[in-house]
Amino acid sequence: MADVALLADTQTNERPIRKVDIDRDLGQIADLIEVCFGDQMDEDGHEYLRQIRRAARDVRQIMWARGSNEWVAMPMHGYVYEDGDRIIGNVTLVPFLKSGKWVYLICNVAVHPEFRQRGIGRLMTVRGMEHIRKQKAQAAWLQVRVDNLPAIHLYETLGFQHRAVRTLWRASAREQFGKIDEKITVRRQRGSDWTQQKNWLEQTYPETVAWNLPFKSETFSPNWWRRLMYFARAERVESWTAHIDGQLVGAVNWAETQFHQESLWPVAAPEYESIVMESLLSFIRQKIHTHKPVVVNYPEGRAESAFYLAGFHKINSLIWMEAPFA
């Protein structure tokens, strides 16, 4: 769902675009997103569609959403493109607070396959950007697959700039673990590890991308009060470090979630990244004993052989793009 289905840069003579009407549009929007992106979705993506459909059937949710203000991070804000009474185009606008300022994520730019090559995707994106400007947000963001060259070109012509390229890796519970290198010692995090570990976390998951990931480096701080709070709430947080000849060379972090897949946050010293990554990912997969798939969002092109050896496969690589507004 993070990717954007835009296949042309042509124009249309009419602009039957209007704001989303949550009383009647949510079901059609879910159907359109499924047609456009269903074969790319993981279980969390399909759960997202189920949530939209539940909201479409639940009068209480619709009444709450209707009364909410602009700054509610739910997929209720956006625009649709109609062909008669049929919704054949959509753009969803999701506000986020980033570094104390509001930005928007443009997502679900979907055009029904029967209506592509008509410039509808461009019109929807432009309309979304106009909305964001009127809200005086700091920037618009979107994510696009690295192989979607027409979309990348289109976004560049609309003022979007490349900010990062990230790869999503995934391993199911059925897939084999890799090996833990005999030169590496893995142990629980200690307070003396934290300064270097935090530095690696902030380099690997920088603020440029962390605002739209379920990630906060403070979650893995060895602060005793924070750990007591997690224990009281029966929430599992794991942080393990890797050492070679007594030298800290990497770490892997995990905080239990209610999502349909679990996120891991591995880091490593650059010179040891490949050997450490396979060992840490294999270790943590055995340690957490989850039946859910596990995923890692990691800088594109780094330690790829280590991910494959640890039992992961590549889901996609996305370019994160930003259009800053004055």
- Tokens, residue 132: 């964001």
Multiple choice CATH, 169-316, 3.40.449.10, 1.10.275.10, 3.30.565.10, 3.40.630.30: 3.40.630.30
Contacts of 33 (CB under 8 A, 6+ apart): 1, 49, 52, 90, 108, 110
Three-class DSSP labels, 205-254: CCHHHHCCCCCCHHHHCCCHHHHHHHHHCCCCEEEEEEEECCEEEEEEEE
3-state SS, residue 317: strand
Are 17-159 and 169-316 equal in CATH topology? Answer: yes
* Exposed/middle/buried for residue 46 (C-beta within 10 Å: 0-12, 13-18, 19+): middle
> Considering the entire predicted model, what is its pTM?
0.85
How many other C-beta atoms lie within 10 A of the C-beta of residue 8? 16
Task: Give the start-to-end residue ranges of the domains of the chain.
Answer: 17-159, 169-316
- pLDDT at position 106 is 96
Identify whether the C-beta of residue 189 lies closer than 8 Å to the C-beta of residue 287.
Answer: no
Output the pLDDT for position 272.
Answer: 96
Supply the pLDDT for residue 229.
Answer: 65
Distances (CA, A) of 143 to 109, 173, 254: 11, 28, 24
Instruction: Give the per-residue pLDDT at 50.
Output: 87
HSE toward the beta carbon, residue 203, CA cutoff 13 A: 12
What's the pLDDT at 7? 39
68, 95 Cβ separation under 8 angstroms:
no
Using an 8 Å Cβ cutoff, are 261 and 295 in contact? yes
Rounded CA-CA distance 103/304 in Å is 32
Superfamily (CATH H level) for 17-159: Gcn5-related N-acetyltransferase (GNAT) (3.40.630.30)
> Are 156 and 281 in contact, with CB atoms under 8 Å apart?
no
Which regions in the chain score pLDDT beneath 70?
1-15, 59-76, 224-234
Q: Which residue type is seen at 11?
A: Q
Q: What is the pLDDT of residue 252?
A: 97
222 burial level (CB within 10 Å; 0-12, 13-18, 19+)? middle
Separation between Cα atoms, residue 24 and residue 174, nearest integer Å: 41
pLDDT value, residue 10: 36
Please name the residue that has the structure tokens 């307070």.
191
Q: Tell me the β-bridge partners of 104.
A: 95, 140
